[in-house]
Amino acid sequence: MQRIVAGLKRNHGDQRIPNIIFTKGGGLWLEAIADTGCDAVGLDWTIDIGEARRRVGDKVALQGNLDPSVLFASPEVIKLEVEKILASYGHGSGHVFNLGHGISQFTPPENAAALVDAVHTLSRKFHAVGA
């Protein structure tokens, strides 16, 4: 992974091109992934994002990690699960909210919309500038 990251194009003109490494089950080797030189680590749903943050500090951003099966629950449950992840990560920057793996083709579109709404509404208190 280090050789791959080292070989990636990192800039386009004066724009930095970030890169993310995702591997299912990557919580087992999280520190090694963070040491590859990547900008962010994508987390699946099997690791607590707060624990991941404690393990890697601010070395890399973290992306994830809602269990995609939550999108089959009610909008209220989706909102609760979003809040759990945001609270576990805590305050500050460096978190890109995402699913912890792919979305099922059978996910009700209104539940995906409930997820987006919950992230927009709830993330402000955790990731707002000056928070």
| Per-residue pLDDT tens over the stretch 49-78 | 999 999 999 999 999 999 999 999 999 999
What's the mean pLDDT in 10-35?
Answer: 93
Architecture of the structural domain at 2-127: Alpha-Beta Barrel (3.20)
- Mean residue pLDDT of the chain comes to 93
Computed on alpha carbons and rounded to an integer, the radius of gyration of the chain in Å comes to 15
Tokens of 102: 């792919």
More confident residue, 84 or 126: 84
Sketch the domain layout of the chain as residue ranges: 2-127
